[in-house]
Amino acid sequence: DGGITQSPKYLFRKEGQNVTLSCEQNLNHDAMYWYRQDPGQGLRLIYYSQIVNDFQKGDIAEGYSVSREKKESFPLTVTSAQKNPTAFYLCASSIASSTRRDGYTFGSGTRLTVV
Amino acid sequence: AQSVTQPDIHITVSEGASLELRCNYSYGATPYLFWYVQSPGQGLQLLLKYFSGDTLVQGIKGFEAEFKRSQSSFNLRKPSVHWSDAAEYFCAVGAGTGGFKTIFGAGTRLFVKA
């Protein structure tokens, strides 16, 4: 069955360390997204990519970086510049031409904790 | 500004009782609206969506939602709640060119009591 795989499920980061969250999909979707979820704040868009080798900043991109070298993969790096990285991170994907109508498919998330 | 408001942070209903979760949106054009559900520690799953046509839409797991343009609302309903419906529910509007910047509400957590 097709879906989105996020790994790891739990990740611990030391102060000043960069960490990379993996997101892989086999749905043949063009567009991919990273959202951050904090209690009581819903989901906030970090980055999105409509096509390979192209991506755009979302509402809270500072302290994060992404790459889109393959259609299937959209890794997120949380850099040391992100001052409050503890959160639940969700990756999603969609068919670019019908995103507005059809919505997203989500992965099961990665919980990042700073120790 | 575009926004989605879910007025209830949490709701508790008895098993077998009916449920209505409220959602209000602010969006300049014709809205594309969604409800997603999230179980603890999991990703979101699409329950239903509205973009045109019949204003009462049916979704999975027995849920339905009604779009009311005059009230800028898209409330989620279920006639009889099951204990397995306990989860967090998010209303969303497809925003930005192509819908690539979907805006989510803050969520409503549903508790079900026996």
Which of A48, A102, A106 lies nearest to residue B100, judging by beta carbons? A48
CB-based contact A44:B105 (threshold 8 Å): no
The pLDDT of residue A83 is 87
How far is the alpha carbon of A29 from chain B, nearest alpha carbon, in Å?
13
Q: What is the pLDDT of residues B9-68, one digit of tens each?
A: 999 999 999 999 999 999 877 789 999 999 988 999 999 999 888 899 999 999 999 999
Q: What is the pLDDT of residues A49-59, one digit of tens each?
A: 999 999 999 99
Residue holding tokens 């991506």? A55
Which of B98, B102, B104 lies nearest to residue A96, judging by beta carbons? B98
The pLDDT of residue B27 is 84
The answer to whether the CB atoms of B41 and A109 lie below 8 A apart is yes
- Continuous H helices in A1-115: 99-102
- Residue A101 — φ and ψ, nearest 5°? -90, -35
Q: Is the peptide bond before B79 cis (omega within 30 degrees of 0)?
A: no
The answer to whether the CB atoms of B44 and A104 lie below 8 A apart is yes
Q: What is the pLDDT of residues B69-102, one digit of tens each?
A: 999 999 999 999 999 999 999 999 987 777 778 8
What percentage of chain A's residues is helix, strand, coil (to nearest 5)? 5, 50, 45
The answer to whether the CB atoms of B43 and A50 lie below 8 A apart is no
The pLDDT of residue B21 is 98
Q: With the CA atoms of A20, A24, A28 and A29 taken in that order, what torsion angle do they form, in degrees rounded to the nearest 10?
A: -50
Measured distance CA(B38)–CA(A106) in Å, rounded: 10
How far is the alpha carbon of B31 from chain A, nearest alpha carbon, in Å?
9
The answer to whether the CB atoms of B101 and A45 lie below 8 A apart is yes
